[in-house]
């Protein structure tokens, strides 16, 4: 009998939707023309690129000309920070950002930019007064919309009001949130936003950066005139179009998917039964389906491997080497006890997971914990 396989690491990457796959295949196999060329064969690719920009803009309440296509979330984040470096702005961010923000911020410091890393509470939220006190009219604020380890959703709109009052430039890394919660850039008050296709059932290697009309942007890659001269290079039409289709599909199914994921969470915790008393959930106000759990008496890395042997793919908040356990910067930042941090695992469910999946995961966890 074949070993059962359950993918429960959707915060790392997601299964592409069939609609996205079908669209991608068309522009790989049939309508493969270079969208920058003037002849008729490329017209389909050019039109598809234009339509993809319209679809994505519509999904987030933006204008099509405010969308710049990139190779993914890391590039979009880097572009936003490099823009702040070029404008010699002081940067304000949090201690739990993705390394795609934190490492460019370190680079910014080496270039002479002042960077302030704000602390967070144990639940992963930032103290609003810390943001307010750190901002000036020459600040660049970058706060992630939802944390990739904890799932905690930050009050981005509240932070946006503070940034706008100070006339600061406001960027949010929405890579983990895009396609999973409602996002309207105008309502949130953000000037820039990063997203990545593979996090919402699109392809890997493609993403976008939203830049509000009127916000100065420095070119990322110099060369051709693609992306209005801001990012040179032949457009990755198959991936861009597939990403747009996947995002529209998720936005249209948002209520349905949210209800489904909340139901999966309920069943999961119900099936854990008495084992639940040994489990603590980290974070607060989480993304649907994202569970950061610390399990008393266990190491997260060991749990990951035990579950992997049972056919279950999850993630962990710590990594072991031959001598010690490396706790993630996020778990360190929320200042939870060491034993709680080292026992943390992340189960992230997606729209294709089933009640049978979460029942099996709960049964396997219970078996491991009670052995």
Which are the catalytic amino acids?
A: 320
- Identify whether the C-beta of residue 116 lies closer than 8 Å to the C-beta of residue 139: no
CA-CA distance, 234 to 225, in Å (whole number)? 10
CA-CA distance, 122 to 120, in Å (whole number)? 7
Write the burial class of residue 18 (CB in 10 Å: 0-12 exposed, 13-18 middle, 19+ buried): exposed
CA-CA distance, 240 to 294, in Å (whole number)? 38
For 78-191, list the strands marked E by DSSP.
90-94, 115-118, 139-142, 169-173
- For residue 92, the SS3 value is strand
Q: Which secondary structure element, helix H or strand E, spans residue 244, and what is its range?
A: helix 237-252
| φ, ψ for residue 25, nearest 5 deg | -60, -40
Token pair 């034993």 in the structure block, residue: 339
- Per the DSSP assignment, residues forming a β-bridge with 172 are 193
């Amino acid at each position: 009998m074949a070993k059962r396989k359950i993918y429960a690491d959707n915060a790392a990457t997601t299964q592409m939707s069939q609609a996205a796959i079908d669209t991608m295949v068309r522009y790989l196999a049939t309508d493969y023309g270079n969208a920058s060329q003037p002849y008729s064969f490329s017209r389909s690719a050019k039109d598809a690129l234009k339509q993809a920009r319209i679809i994505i803009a519509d999904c987030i309440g933006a204008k099509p000309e405010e969308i710049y296509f990139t190779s993914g979330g890391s590039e979009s984040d880097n572009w936003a920070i490099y823009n702040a470096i070029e404008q010699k702005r002081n940067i304000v961010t949090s201690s739990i950002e993705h390394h795609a923000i934190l490492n460019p911020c370190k680079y910014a410091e080496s270039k002479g930019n002042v960077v302030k890393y704000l602390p967070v509470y144990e639940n992963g939220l930032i103290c609003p007064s810390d943001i307010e006190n750190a901002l000036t009219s020459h600040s660049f604020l970058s706060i992630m919309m939802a944390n990739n380890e904890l799932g905690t959703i930050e009050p981005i709109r509240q932070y946006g009001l503070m940034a706008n009052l100070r006339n600061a430039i406001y960027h949010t890394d929405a890579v983990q949130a895009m396609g999973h919660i409602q996002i309207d850039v105008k309502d949130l008050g953000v000037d820039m936003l990063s997203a990545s296709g593979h996090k919402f059932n699109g392809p890997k290697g493609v993403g976008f950066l939203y830049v509000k009309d009127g916000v100065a942007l420095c070119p990322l890659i110099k060369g051709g005139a693609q992306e209005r001269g801001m990012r040179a290079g032949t457009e990755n039409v198959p991936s861009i179009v597939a990403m747009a289709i996947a995002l529209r599909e998720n936005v249209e199914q948002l209520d349905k998917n949210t209800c489904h994921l909340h139901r999966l969470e309920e069943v999961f915790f119900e099936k854990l039964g008495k084992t639940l008393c040994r489990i603590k959930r980290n974070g607060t106000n989480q993304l649907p389906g994202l569970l950061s759990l610390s399990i008393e008496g266990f190491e997260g890395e060991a749990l990951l491997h035990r579950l992997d042997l049972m056919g279950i793919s999850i993630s962990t908040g710590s990594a072991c080497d031959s001598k010690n356990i490396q706790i993630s910067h996020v778990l360190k930042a929320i200042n939870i006890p060491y034993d709680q941090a080292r026992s943390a695992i992340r189960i992230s469910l997606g729209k294709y997971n089933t009640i049978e999946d979460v029942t099996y995961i709960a049964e396997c966890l219970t078996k491991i914990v009670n052995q």
